[in-house]
Chain A
Amino acid sequence: METKDLLIIGGGSAGMAAAVGAYDRGVKDILILEKGPFLGGILNQCIHNGFGLTEFKEELTGPEFAQRFITQVRDRKIPYKLDTYVTSISKEKVVTYMNGVDGVVEVQAKAIIMAAGCYERNAGAIGIPGDRPAGILTAGQAQLFLNEYGCLVGHRVFILGSGDIGLIMARRLTLEGAKVLGVAEICPWSNGLNRNMVQCLYDYDIPLFLSHTVTKVIGKARLEKVIIAMVDEKKNPIPGTEREFEADTLILSVGLVPNNDLLDKLGIPTSRSRGALVNEHYETSVEGIFSCGNVLHVHDLVDNVVEEAREAGEAAALYLKGQLPAHKESITIVPGNGIGYVVPGKIDLADSGDDLVFKFRVRQPSRSVFILYEFNGVIIKRIFKPVIIPSEMEIEKLPKNILNSNQGTITISLVDKET
């Protein structure tokens, strides 16, 4: 059987950055497996700008950002295979992939980095009431049709959900001549980045209906009408508040889900992010299998993805040199009140770097609150947040000397000023 020191599943931003991170720490025997026809993954269809502000200190489009990393991969002569699909991974780190050229190949890897990205929640998953005509699709699907295939999915468009891709598509479709009738968001707040709200909706006078959802879609063959209604605090539609839109297209931007099937099938525990539960080295419960990028937890900025993935690549390099400590996972990190999920889920104090890094999202927007860190029931840190919103991932660092033990539980929660 063929062997590789490091096998990376996914050649998007995370996979490429992980490869570069590992290579620069001395790992040379790497193979990236990418299912698509290009490196770069979803960045290739994100032709808008706004990428790279922290990574490259300039504003790039998605394909430009991808190209920077493709160049880094090529400069290092890191091998990759395109149009290649991974069918399984074993706990012994045997990866089986297939493509039309090589057929089915099994590779014994010493380490694996999972960087397979995410997929979109869709009409089926949320079970939109009403008919099931053509013309209901996810924002990323509409984006793929438009930007890679040159196809416009509709003329009169309504958008459900204020996720970033939906907002970007509102602008993009408008620029291509479609009429975007409005955006409904079930939460009483918007779920996209603030800059996207301004640049994609307000600048184009596209109405945003907060606390509204789609209560019915009508159309036998192609979508004809979308009915929305206001919702109460429990997200139940309020009768009498319905509005009707004559739309041929409904675009959904209702969330992304880590595409973590390969690790799920291994029985690797998952976190509330729906990605694998990892320690501070992005290592899963199986030693030598790492996860990073959107397959671990959904990021709002690719700049954060590549930073995380590089670190995962560096950790894999340490693992391959035998310098990554064996699993002890003595401290568990738990998302408490108001916190959606936290990465990492476990840490071992003795092995951590100088800082403990926590990435998490809050469940709802808040003003003037504290993020509270409790270690074994004792408050160890309280950080004031004038504003905190679910659409922006929080990344916080704590010095490791803040912990007085290598055993127990850290709970991160959101509390009001008063408590």
Chain B
Amino acid sequence: MEDVLIIGAGAVGCFIARSLSRYELSVLVLEKENDVGDVTSMANSAIAHSGYDPEPGTKKAKFNVLGNKMMPLLCQELDVSFGKVGTLTVAVDDDQVPLLADLLARAQLNGVEAKLLGPAEVKALEPNINPAVKGALLCPTGGIVNPFTLTAHAMENACDNGVKLHLSETVLAVSRLYDHYVVKTDKDTYEAKVVVNAAGLHADEIAAMIEPVSWKILPRKGEYYVLNHYAPGLVNHVLFPLPSAKGKGVLVTMTTSGNYLVGPSSEVIDDKEDLATDTPTLASVRAQAQSLVPNIPFGEQIRVFSGLRATPSTHDFIIEASQKYPDFINVAGIESPGLVSSPAIGEYVAKDLVGAVLPLKEKAAYTKTIKKYVCPLSLHRDERNALIQANPDYGEMVCDCEKVTLGEIKDALSRSVPCLTVKALKKRTRVGFGKCQGGFCQPKVVRLLADYYHISPLEVLYDKSGSAIILDEIKKEAK
């Protein structure tokens, strides 16, 4: 019998696990994908929003502001790249200027530091901004964060503190038996005193397994461009247009890896698995972005992608026990600003919701940090030499574009959250993330995974089950 069973290892599931790992509890996390943070948590704007935008009084506002405040220290503890670069919400025509004042008032109600800037001030901060700019709202606490490692390192920290993680395991049924729950998956059956439903896009389906629910999760697709890290200074802040009913609009931002991200679109769709991009939508994203920054070098495009936001029909985060059972906790509808909110949601769910039904006794041996990931290219020459002397793998380059060494890949493979797939390694180390998109390094990565897990290269997956990269071997006797 588990004390707590968490369904879903997205950002929220990972941070709930981390917050619970501080206590004397047995915690099991079930994730249907082959990696943590593999759906919505990896395909988003990678922004640590300041919290100026959500409607005051909502859960979105509360957890966003709390999460944002946690970010700097948290990212140190979890060895995650974070940049407090500030956000600018930009008005490009006169009609929009009064809306900036409304946003400022909202920021103040939410307790978020914010300041109105005139056109000259905006141009001084952002030389590439649309010259027609009329003003902007500056929120200095907004920033950028690496969404891949934020999620994975939170879970790594949880696992280091005793949480059990089962990847590639889909929950089929949840039922209540006397005073606990029986959770049946495609592989096994588990019993737990408390269930936390953090199933992202599928949270409504999981919630409905124990009682009828009035809310739904609507997949809302957002498509993006990723540009290469060719030169700094295209933008110096996260640039937003003014928000609308459809969300925060198409942003232009740098990422923690020095790339640029342009997007997202916003379209409610029916299919929770539909991650296809399409040309007209991306063309529209491009046009909208150009109204903020006219000369975006789209020739530097290295990838397009789309993500699905888990939009709740209630329009606010759903973070509460079910109506009937205080020990079945729904954490659902965590759309934007979900990434930045997730650490605060994790704390709340652990202390207030799980704490209401289970005794929370702090572990003596709890550690809140993970072992540092060594990045040789960021080290000073002498330190790097010492590192390579101690471990020559840190001198062997695997990914030329992103400068990822064999040592970093082996380190990622050895951690408590496994990297089962090429994509998991890519998210953890950036191997294959660059301009050649794995053209040179993917065969090496496939071989490394096959060797590490003692499997055939045919069994190495790109991401999902069925996503083998190679389908056959030739001349099998050859070395």
Binding site for B on A (CB under 8 A): 35, 83, 85, 87, 96, 98-104, 106, 119-120, 122-125, 127, 129-135, 137-138, 140-141, 144-146, 148-155, 176-177, 216, 218, 220-222, 248-249, 257, 264
Q: How far is the CB of A416 from chain B (nearest CB, A)?
A: 30
Asked if A151 contacts B304 (CB within 8 A), the reply is no
Separation of A96 and B447 alpha carbons in the complex (Å): 28
B window 147-164: CB within 8 A of A: none
Residue of B nearest to A215 (CB): B279
Separation of A102 and B385 alpha carbons in the complex (Å): 8
Binding site for A on B (CB under 8 A): 225-226, 230, 273, 275-279, 282, 301-305, 376-377, 381, 384-385, 388-389, 392-397, 400, 403, 406, 435-440, 442-443, 446-447, 457-458, 461-476, 478
Pick from B376, B394, B406, B475: contact of A150, CB below 8 A. Answer: B475
Known: A100-B392, A141-B440, A154-B471. 5 other contacts (CB 8 A): A98-B395, A100-B396, A129-B279, A152-B472, A248-B471
Asked if B475 contacts A127 (CB within 8 A), the reply is no
Say what secondary structure dominates the interface of chain A: mixed
Which B residues are CB-close (under 8 A) to A176? 474
Say what secondary structure dominates the interface of chain B: mixed
Asked if A129 contacts B400 (CB within 8 A), the reply is no
Asked if A153 contacts B470 (CB within 8 A), the reply is yes
Residue of B nearest to A236 (CB): B279
Asked if B392 contacts A101 (CB within 8 A), the reply is yes
Asked if A127 contacts B384 (CB within 8 A), the reply is no
Residue of B nearest to A264 (CB): B230
Separation of A218 and B274 alpha carbons in the complex (Å): 10
Separation of A133 and B400 alpha carbons in the complex (Å): 23
Given A124-B301, A151-B473, A152-B470; A132-B275 close (CB under 8 Å): yes
Separation of A106 and B381 alpha carbons in the complex (Å): 9
Q: Which 5 A-B pairs have the closest CB atoms?
A: A100-B392, A221-B466, A124-B303, A134-B462, A100-B395
Given A99-B396, A103-B385, A264-B230; A150-B473 close (CB under 8 Å): yes
Asked if B282 contacts A98 (CB within 8 A), the reply is no
Separation of A123 and B439 alpha carbons in the complex (Å): 10
Pick from A123, A134, A141: contact of B443, CB below 8 A. Answer: A141
Q: How far is the CB of B304 from chain A (nearest CB, A)?
A: 4
Given A127-B304, A141-B438; A35-B397 close (CB under 8 Å): yes
Given A131-B275, A152-B474; A103-B403 close (CB under 8 Å): no
Asked if A151 contacts B467 (CB within 8 A), the reply is no
Q: Which of B230, B440, B461 has the most CB of A within 10 A?
A: B440
Asked if A151 contacts B275 (CB within 8 A), the reply is no
Pick from B282, B397, B439, B465: contact of A120, CB below 8 A. Answer: B439
Separation of A103 and B278 alpha carbons in the complex (Å): 46
Asked if B226 contacts A222 (CB within 8 A), the reply is no
Residue of B nearest to A146 (CB): B474
Separation of A152 and B457 alpha carbons in the complex (Å): 10
Pick from A102, A129, A144, A145: contact of B277, CB below 8 A. Answer: A129
Q: How far is the CB of A166 from chain B (nearest CB, A)?
A: 13
Q: Which of A104, A135, A154 has the most CB of B within 10 A?
A: A104
Given A124-B302, A127-B277; A83-B396 close (CB under 8 Å): yes
